[in-house]
Amino acid sequence: MRDQVDKALKEGRKLDKWRLHWVSEPNLAVSRAQDLLPSLILVDDRLDNVDPVFIIKKLVAAISNAAILFLVDQSGTRKAGQAVLVGARSFVTKPFQADELYDTVVQVLTQAPSTQAESTKGRVGGRVVAFCAPKGGTGRTTLAINTAVSLHRLDENAPVALIDADYAAPALDVALNLRMERDITDLLPRLSRLDEILLDSVLARHKSGIKVLMAPPPAGLSNGLSLPQVQYILMGLKRMFPWVIVDLGLPFDEAAFAFLDGADQIVITVLPEMVGLRNTRLMLDRLRDEGYPESKVMLVLNRSTMKGGVTAQDIEARLGISVEYTVPDDQPLATYSINRGIPFVMSHPRSAVARAVTRIADHLIDELAPREEPELETSEGLFQRLFL
């Protein structure tokens, strides 16, 4: 059955990207699906003395965001009716033709439940900006924080979410003087029921007006985040916030690339020093090899007026990419700001460094036009995850 489904999907042309997972033990179906968070779950009717309707009922309760397609023998139409009653979206009789299964899969994926369609109708998808750096100490976190606050102040006080995605060395709680026990790990067991109320209950509120999704203590994510988990969290935040800013750490693992995949703009912060330039070159090469277009990457030179530093012109010549913005050196103010937990765009809005960050925020507002909320993950360049 797995091979037949895989062949049918490969022969189709309407699904740009998809990934098929499968499990052979019915009693593992719910836990496996909760790990994968699939877009579509296919349930075969031959489950070794286990009632498939019972399994479908459990899957509907546990993975409310997934559609369920029942694969049933032609003699099992009564069982198919029961499956639909407990929550299956549709069914296909076996033996099936490849084009019949494929067309049904596409139809199920493109027909969102009415409640979901009503809740997202007319909404604008939020814009995601990921801040990253080739090494620590480039001011990435400071620039991410102050850009988030600037966006909140400039974009008609638009709500802004800031994500601490530096799971090896989280810093937003200290830099913003936040004391909250909840973090992203509180969302992971309940992603299948993720909604705005749950998301909002985990976000920390800063006095600037932005909200922060904090990281657990170092090593608090023993297994890391998976691609589906990051996608679900980003999609939820994008429905709530016009702006989602990600403070991305190192190393670049599956979770990091999932954040980069979902980003509208990737901001790389670099210092005017030779070691940083070499590492930046390596990062740019890797992003290019992973398929990220150069237009998606913005290079910001931090502490540009630092004595003895490499000039912006030399940096552009060495890296082969333009320096979009420069931020002057004001290390005493940056340190003072972090120690107090108050971004310098709030405490010293007329300082040269604050004005430079404000220009970056202005650029993001001008360049990243609002979009209609996508109906399918594939329109965002994400995988359709099918589960058999």
CB-side neighbour CA atoms (13 Å) of 282: 11
pLDDT tens digits, 344-368: 999 999 999 999 999 999 999 999 8
Q: How far apart are CA 274 and CA 280, in angstroms?
A: 10
Give the end of a domain, one of 69, 97, 119.
Answer: 119
Q: Indicate if 51 and 89 belong to the same structural domain.
A: yes
- 10 Å CB burial of residue 370 (0-12, 13-18, 19+) is exposed
CA 346 to chain centroid: 28
Whether 174 and 272 map to the same domain: the answer is yes
Q: Is residue 388 part of a domain?
A: no
What CATH number is associated with residue 204?
Answer: 3.40.50.300
Burial 75-114 (b: 16+ CB within 10 A, else e): ebeebbebbeebbbbbbbbbebeeeebbebbbebbeeeee
- Distance between CA atoms of residues 94 and 194, nearest Å: 34
Pure H helices in the chain:
2-11, 29-36, 52-62, 77-86, 98-110, 114-120, 140-154, 172-175, 196-202, 227-240, 254-261, 274-289, 312-319, 331-340, 344-347, 352-367
Q: Is residue 107 domain-resident?
A: yes
Distance CA 358, CA 338 (A): 18
Give the angle subtended at the CA of 213 by the CAs of 209 and 216, to the nearest 5°. Answer: 140
| Assigned domain for 32 exists | yes
Question: CB–CB of 319/283 below 8 Å?
Answer: no
Rounded Cα gap, residues 121 and 125, in angstroms: 11
Model-level pTM?
A: 0.73
Angle formed by the axes of helices 29-36 and 52-62, to 10°?
30
Given 86, 119, 152, which residue is the final one in a domain? Answer: 119
Query: What is the residue range of 47's domain?
Result: 2-119
- 239 and 99 in one domain? no
* Ordered per-residue pLDDT tens for the chain, 388 residues: 888 888 888 887 777 678 888 888 888 888 888 878 888 999 999 887 889 999 998 888 888 778 899 998 888 878 888 888 788 888 888 888 888 888 888 888 877 554 333 443 444 478 999 999 999 999 999 999 999 999 999 987 789 999 999 999 999 999 999 987 899 999 988 887 788 888 999 999 999 999 999 999 887 777 778 888 898 899 899 989 999 999 999 888 888 999 999 999 999 999 999 988 999 999 999 999 999 999 999 999 999 999 999 999 999 999 999 999 999 999 999 999 999 999 999 999 999 999 999 999 999 999 985 555 444 343 333 456 676 6
Residues 199 and 290 both lie in one domain: yes
16-73: per-residue pLDDT in tens? 678 888 888 888 888 888 878 888 999 999 887 889 999 998 888 888 778 899 998 8
Angle, helices 52-62/77-86, rounded to nearest 10 degrees? 20
Helices (H) and strands (E) in the chain, counts: 16, 15
* 194 and 336 co-located in one domain: yes
What tokens does 22 get? Answer: 């499968």
Residue 379 lies in a domain: no
- CA distance linking residue 276 with residue 312, whole number of Å: 13
Of 102, 119, 136, the domain-final residue? 119
Question: Could you tell me the two tokens for 388?
Answer: 């058999």
- 210 and 92: one domain? no
Which CATH number does the domain housing residue 76 bear?
3.40.50.2300
Looking only at the bridges linking them, the beta strands covering 204-205 and 211-213 are antiparallel
- The answer to whether residues 200 and 95 belong to one domain is no
The backbone torsions φ and ψ at residue 250, rounded to the nearest 5 degrees and listed phi first, read -120, 155
Asked if 271 and 303 count as a contact pair (C-beta separation under 8 A), the reply is yes
Q: How far is CA 271 from CA 70, 165, 288, in A?
A: 56, 21, 21
And the tokens for 81?
A: 């009716």
Classify residue 65 as exposed, middle or buried by CB count within 10 Å of its CB (0-12, 13-18, 19+). Answer: middle
51 domain-assigned: yes
C-beta of residue 310 within 8 angstroms of C-beta of residue 298: no
